[in-house]
Amino acid sequence: MAIMEVTNLKKTFGDLEVLKSITFDVQKNEVVAVIGPSGSGKSTMLRSLVHLEKIDDGTINIDGEYLVNKGAYASPSDLKKASTKMGMVFQHFNLFPHLTVKENLEMAPKLVKKVSAQELSRHSMELLEKVGMADKASAYPSNLSGGQKQRVAIARALMMQPDILLFDEPTSALDPELTGEVLSVMKELAKEQMTMIVVTHEMGFAREVANRVLFMDQGEILEAGTPEEVFDNPQFERTKAFLHRNLK
Amino acid sequence: MSLDYILTILKPMLQGSQMTLLLFIIAIVLSIPLGFLLTLAVNSSIKLLSLLAQAYIYIMRGTPLLLQLLIICFGLPMIPGIGQYLVLDRFTAACIGFILNYAAYFAEIFRGGLLAIDKGQYEAAQVLGLNKFQTTVRVILPQMFRIAIPSLANESVTLIKDTALLYAVAVPELLHFAETAVNRDFTIVPFFIAGIIYLIMTLILTLLFKWIERRFTFE
Ligand SMILES: Nc1ncnc2c1ncn2[C@@H]1O[C@H](COP(=O)(O)OP(=O)(O)OP(=O)(O)O)[C@@H](O)[C@H]1O
Ligand SMILES: [Mg+2]
């Protein structure tokens, strides 16, 4: 069952056509990896899905609800409803520096979902446990390593119980020795059947964890398929060239 | 120079300091929120409001506070027709002048604080489902305030010293009593005492802000 359907997404920045006509869908419980050269529009595409970028034309349907239908955005309340089905993890974590780890997790659900403090606290500790950060619950982000920050950011996104979790290069801002701890949390989520779209430069992760790989180039999805199809048997020269540069 | 003499002149000078402190407290308590509202106006999507706020800040920062005080105390009552309704008690007039002027400086400080906040903070808040108001109050303001503390401290010390401008609009404050004593007793000791009283006030203020800064350090 498709939980997300994206059709003919178009986006320009001034004269620059960043997304030419993006069409893909995401099945429930699927992990989709998005790879491609810098500037190909991966972030813009991902950000469009959570309404951080406004698209010019196209359709985004999340689990039966339209975020945009043929270029026309849903009403603010419907937009919000569709958006709450998605969580996002950013390259630079974007944790709230003035809140402790636990407060980072609890602020949004407290304000948005009006859950009881007790229930919130139980839920946040459970998620911190899961990402291995329970012992840092009362620390401030400034005292955490990059890998720890990103694990907290993942837990914060999970607090909202999204149906789909989006990642924009979650390990690109990390020292190489810290990427492992973040990737293993993501693998854990994949094992638990979390639906995820992951923009990544980690080819190993894409091959091992993704059910499907999308290769983006110059604002288009040039090639899509299973990891085996895309990595071992790419159809296009541009895919081959990209893989050649990045698989070493 | 006897201790007795110092004690005699200290009494009126401390009374004068009360005026200084009162002005300081009224000015800071009202100009900080007003400054913050100005910052919001500058950042408003309503173009006219933003332009007006910017013009206001430019005028207030671009002209001497003394000139503004003189206009409020002596200029407004001269306006034909409505002037008679604009005759204010000197101290009230001075308070208004200080509030209006300092609000412009505080607005600039807050604006700087806002500019220093990464846009990722707004994005994270939006994706987590916070509305604009919640984002401003829960995410942006605390960080803006934290960034602004050192500059607020600086500006507050300047404000303490600027209260001496009350002298120019003939409100009896610390400096006024010091000068009276200097002229009457033909000694400059009262000036030194005044200096020391200012130093004590700025020291207390500086310590207070250091404490606030520590309280709001998120580590
Ligand atoms: N706000 C913006 N204004 C103008 N141009 C933009 C903006 N954001 C992105 N672009 C341009 O759009 C193109 C696609 O950018 P995008 O960030 O989506 O690429 P990307 O595939 O995520 O690249 P990277 O791997 O470097 O993160 C780039 O040419 C970029 O310069
Ligand atoms: Mg990117």
Q: Among candidates A35, A60, A37, A36, which has minimal Cα distance to A47? A: A60
Query: Cβ–Cβ contacts within 10 Å for residue B217, how many?
Result: 12
Per the listing, tokens 């001496």 go with B164
Q: Is the pLDDT of residue A122 over 90?
A: yes
The secondary structure element, H or E, covering residue B110 is helix B90-115
Interface of B with A (CB under 8 A): 118, 120-121, 123-130, 134, 138-139, 142-143, 146, 216, 218-219
Query: Cβ–Cβ contacts within 10 Å for residue B219, how many?
Result: 9
Coil vs helix vs strand at A87 = strand
Q: How far apart are CA B189 and CA B58, in angstroms?
A: 40
pLDDT of residue A246: 87
Chain B partners of A167 at a C-beta cutoff of 8 Å? Answer: none
Q: Is the pLDDT of residue A1 over 80?
A: no
Q: Is the pLDDT of residue A218 over 80?
A: yes
pLDDT of residue B217: 87
Question: Which residue lies with its CA nearest to atom 10 of ligand 1?
Answer: A13
What is the per-residue pLDDT across B172-184, written as a single tens digit (0 to 9) for each? 888 888 888 899 9
Q: Is the pLDDT of residue B81 over 90?
A: no
The answer to whether B195 and B37 are in contact (CB under 8 A) is no
Q: How far apart are CA A169 and CA A147, in angstroms?
A: 13
Q: How far is the CA of A240 from the centre of ligand 1 (A)?
A: 22
What is the per-residue pLDDT across A26-36, written as a single tens digit (0 to 9) for each? 999 999 999 99
- E strands within A141-189? 164-168
pLDDT of residue B204: 95
Domains along chain B with CATH numbers = 3-218 (1.10.3720.10)
Q: What is this model's ipTM?
A: 0.94
- When mean pLDDT is compared across A98-102, A170-174, A179-183, B87-91, the lowest value belongs to B87-91
Q: How far is the CA of B38 from the centre of ligand 2 (A)?
A: 36
pLDDT of residue A114: 82
pLDDT of residue A57: 96
Residue B87's pLDDT band (boundaries 50, 70, 90)?
confident
The secondary structure element, H or E, covering residue B59 is helix B47-62
Q: Which atom of ligand 1 is the closest one to the Cα of A201?
A: 25
What is the per-residue pLDDT across B155-165, written as a single tens digit (0 to 9) for each? 999 999 999 99
Coil vs helix vs strand at A209 = helix
- What residues contact residue A141 under an 8 Å CB cut-off, 6+ apart? A93, A95, A96, A97, A99, A101, A104, A149, A152, B218
pLDDT of residue B1: 61
What residues form DSSP beta bridges with A6?
A: A24, A60
CB contact under 8 A, B118 and A95: no
The answer to whether B153 and B205 are in contact (CB under 8 A) is yes
Structure tokens at B44: 């408003």
Q: Is the pLDDT of residue B125 over 90?
A: yes
Q: Which atom of ligand 1 is the closest one to the Cα of A42?
A: 21
Instruction: Please provide the DSSP assignment of B117-156 as one string.
Output: S-HHHHHHHHHTT--HHHIIIIIIHHHHHHHHHHHHHHHH
Q: Is the pLDDT of residue B216 over 80?
A: yes
Structure tokens at B170: 């003939």
Q: How far away is chain B from the Cα of A138, in angstroms, using its nearest Cα? A: 10
- Percent pLDDT > 90 in chain B is 72
Residues enclosing ligand 1, CB less than 6 A?
Answer: A 13, 16, 18, 36, 38-44
| CB burial of residue A76 (10 Å; 0-12, 13-18, 19+) | exposed
Average pLDDT of span A17-33: 96
Measured between CB atoms, which of B127, B134, B218 is closest to A97? B218
- What residues contact residue B8 under an 8 Å CB cut-off, 6+ apart? none
pLDDT of residue A162: 96
The answer to whether B199 and B207 are in contact (CB under 8 A) is no
Starting at the edge strand found earlier in the chain, the sheet holding A86-89 runs: A86-89, A164-168, A195-199, A31-35, A212-217, A220-225
Coil vs helix vs strand at A220 = strand
Best mutation target among A94, A99, A144, A166 (most B Cβ atoms within 10 Å) is A94
The answer to whether A197 and A24 are in contact (CB under 8 A) is no
CB contact under 8 A, B218 and A90: no
Average pLDDT of span A175-199: 96
Q: Is the pLDDT of residue B54 over 80?
A: yes
| CB burial of residue A214 (10 Å; 0-12, 13-18, 19+) | buried
Which DSSP state fits B28?
H
Average pLDDT of span A138-151: 97
Structure tokens at A72: 């026309």
Residue A248's pLDDT band (boundaries 50, 70, 90)?
low
Average pLDDT of span B23-41: 96
pLDDT of residue B61: 96
Average pLDDT of span B100-117: 96
The answer to whether A9 and A19 are in contact (CB under 8 A) is yes
Q: Is the pLDDT of residue A22 over 90?
A: yes
Task: Among A43, A201, A245, A246, name the best residue to mutate to test ligand 1's pocket (greatest count of ligand atoms within 8 A of Cβ).
Answer: A43
Instruction: Please provide the DSSP assignment of A91-125 as one string.
Output: TT----TTS-HHHHHHHHHHHHT---HHHHHHHHH
Q: Is the pLDDT of residue A247 over 90?
A: no
Structure tokens at B171: 């409100």
